[in-house]
Chains A and B, each alone.
Chain A
Amino acid sequence: MSNKVIYAIYNDDDVLMDAVHKTKKAHYHIEEVFTPFPVHGLDKALGIPPTRLAICAFIYGCIGLSVATIMMNYIMITDWPQDIGGKPSFAYYQNMPAFVPVMFEMTVFFAAHLMVITFYLRSKLWPFKKAENPDLRTTDDHFLMEVSVDDNEQELVSFFKGTGATEVKVIEKH
């Protein structure tokens, strides 16, 4: 089986969006699209399912809230319930207003940081990771659509020429 892919390069995001719609309609399989900046509506056009990162963040926030509550309940109420300036440390709820700033910050801290880490893991980003640009210009001013080739190379090349691509390249992928 050949590992050939087509690189169709565009220099305008409107042309790109148009090409994506056309490609979808012609039922060619789009492997990936590289853009220098977020193109509004591209994910919808590609049919990428919505992210669940926000749901993760909510769960992480709940974890942070639990950590803060359990930690302060253990330290301030259970382990050594001292009288500090007359604050009532007989039960958690009695001294709760004093704990709320910590509970709030821990919730935000967990939600934010764990969500960011989840994002890095899911999108496979880390320091010293090898960059995956198929064409250096895609980080500056060009848009690139990668489409897998079966046995229809000629057909695909002429199709993408027709979608307004400035360049259409056939690449052997390893």
Chain B
Amino acid sequence: MYTFSNKLKTFSFVLMIVGVLGIGYGFISAPKTIEDVENIIASENHGHINNHKHVHDVRDEVEHKHHLEHVLTQLSNKPWAALYVACIFTLLIAAGALAFYAIQQVAQAGWSPVLFRVMQGITAYLLPGSVIFIVLLAIAGTNNNHLFIWADSHIVEHDELIKAKSGFLNFPSWILRAVVILAGWNLYRYFSRKNCLAQDDSSDNANYKKNFKLSAGFLVFFIVTESIMAWDWIMSVDPHWFSTLFGWYVFASFFVSGITTISLVTLYLKSKGYLENVNTSHIHDLSKFMFGISIFWTYLWFSQFMLIWYSNIPEEITYFVTRIEDYNITFFGAVALNFIFPFLVLINTDFKRISWVIVMAGIVILFGHYVDFFNMIMPATVGDQWFIGVPELSSLAFFFGLFIFVVFTALTKVPLLPKRNPFIEESKHFHY
């Protein structure tokens, strides 16, 4: 049995407290009125004569006011968007681990059963993550902030494009879809873990078979809901834009993050001596998945980008124009972090077995995919007012702390080695 070390517990609490304080600071310091925005712009332009002049040269007072209102919306969105990105990212890490777990069950993988309890521990975050996320969605969807402009009836009224999509993008059906999707994922997680634990004490393989069928059904449900999830929670911040492979692209992003998290938690538990049956071959296999899915992500990233860049249709290209102009460093930085770095580091067989190399690559991959989600949400919500500052980092700290707390608490609940899994002996002696 695993015992949650006090050090780690304290660390997670510190992260959560610092996170909450930072999130609070983000909300308090966000501008509330147009006057605040005017002051911010004036202080930012102090010393920049050209820009300063530009602001005053706007003859048309109405246009100036529109500009200020626009910036106000973006700045007041900042703490919300920061919270939203960190929340969806951590939630989807748990979902990615869950999908990986289900695939391992269905594929009857012989190497991974010794890691099932680690995966179940990580997916324990799904429930609290879903609850917080649904609350955030409910707040955003009822137009308490401007994360989703389709939720604002004043905008939809004058926007023919969004109006035409309102059959899909309306609050009741949107929140209902979110509840169904998250309920489905959580139910699978709950029953799969229950069957896995029941299998420990049973005398036949009935629970294992039940889990097999359940996992197969879940994967079908998951692939459909994952796609809808990507439209609802991420693509709909840009309701004028659409992309066909977007669901897959989002999937690859959080799937690799989920695998990386499994790898990092496994290495941590192994280093503390809790996983005696996990050897470097298991680590090697996880690293191969990290490597392969990182490249899969890049493939989808590039396919989406290149198809739109090549044909250059105005209604599609704006998505990338804003990203390349206003988010150049994070947009291309994500490719460096999620592709070039893992590619060069994890291509080597020997490196895939060395703990510190994997930890380093894993941290880079996780940060890179946070940046990836940042790139998907921020341009539509805060535009060129983005910055990775206090609200962003503290949101990340809060959810990271919560994630550690929930996951490692869940790991203490059950033995880390499944007992009567039909593949457990093979898995214990797995050698590559």
Mask, B206-234, CB within 8 Å of A = 1, is: 00000000000000000000000000000
Write the nearest CB–CB distance from B331 to chain A, whole angstroms: 13
Whether a CB of chain B sits under 8 angstroms from the CB of A97 is yes
A97 contacts which chain B residues (CB < 8 A)?
Answer: 302, 305-306, 309-310
In the bound complex, do residue B347 and residue A58 qualify as a contact, i.e. CB atoms below 8 Å apart? yes
Smallest distance from the beta carbon of A93 to chain B beta carbons, Å? 11
Confirm or deny: A136 has a beta carbon within 8 angstroms of a beta carbon on chain B: no
CB of A136 to closest CB in B, whole Å: 34
User: Are B302 and A54 in contact, CB atoms less than 8 angstroms apart?
Assistant: no
Which residues B148-197 have CB closer than 8 A to chain A? Answer: none
Give me the 9 closest cross-chain CB pairs, A-B, nearest first: A97-B306, A97-B309, A98-B310, A100-B302, A97-B310, A100-B306, A97-B305, A58-B347, A86-B312
Within 8 A of A (CB), among B306-346: 306, 309-310, 312
* Interface check B349, CB cutoff 8 A: yes
Q: How far is the CB of A39 from chain B (nearest CB, A)?
A: 16
Chain B contact residue count (CB 8 A cutoff): 8
Min CB gap A76→B, angstroms? 14
A8 to B161, CA, bound (A): 81
Q: Which A residues fall within an 8 A CB radius of B?
A: 54, 58, 86, 97-98, 100
Task: Report the bound CA distance from A54 to B312 in whole Å.
Answer: 39
What is the CB-to-nearest-CB distance from B426 to chain A, in angstroms, rounded to a whole number?
A: 15
> Which DSSP category, helix, strand, loop or mixed, fits chain A's interface?
helix
Min C-beta distance of B64 to chain A, whole Å: 35
Residues of B contacting A86 in the complex (Cβ-Cβ under 8 angstroms): 312
Residues in A neighbouring B305, C-beta threshold 8 A: 97
- Contact residues in A for B309 (Cβ distance below 8 Å): 97
A161 to chain B, nearest CB (A): 33
Q: Separation in Å of the A101 CB from the closest CB of chain B?
A: 8
Name 7 extra pairs, CB < 8 A, besides A97-B302, A97-B306, A97-B309: A54-B349, A58-B347, A86-B312, A97-B305, A97-B310, A100-B302, A100-B306
Chain B min CB distance to A99 (Å): 10
Candidate in A97, A98, A100 with the most chain B CB atoms within 10 angstroms:
A97
Which residues from chain A contact B310 at a C-beta distance below 8 Å? 97-98
Question: Would you mind naming 10 contact pairs between A and B with Cβ atoms under 8 Å apart?
Answer: A54-B349, A58-B347, A86-B312, A97-B305, A97-B306, A97-B309, A97-B310, A98-B310, A100-B302, A100-B306
A65 to chain B, nearest CB (A): 12
Q: B347 to chain A: which residues have CB within 8 Å?
A: 58
A98 to B305, CA, bound (A): 11
> How distant is B320 from chain A, measured CB to nearest CB, in Å?
10
Instruction: Give bound CA distance, A92 to B141, whole Å.
Output: 44
CA distance A97 to B311 in the complex (A): 12
Nearest neighbor of A50 in chain B, beta-carbon distance: B349
| A98 partner residues in chain B, CB cutoff 8 A | 306, 310
Q: How far is the CA of A97 from the CA of B309 in the complex (A)?
A: 8
- Please, how many angstroms separate the alpha-carbon atoms of A58 and B349 in the complex? 13
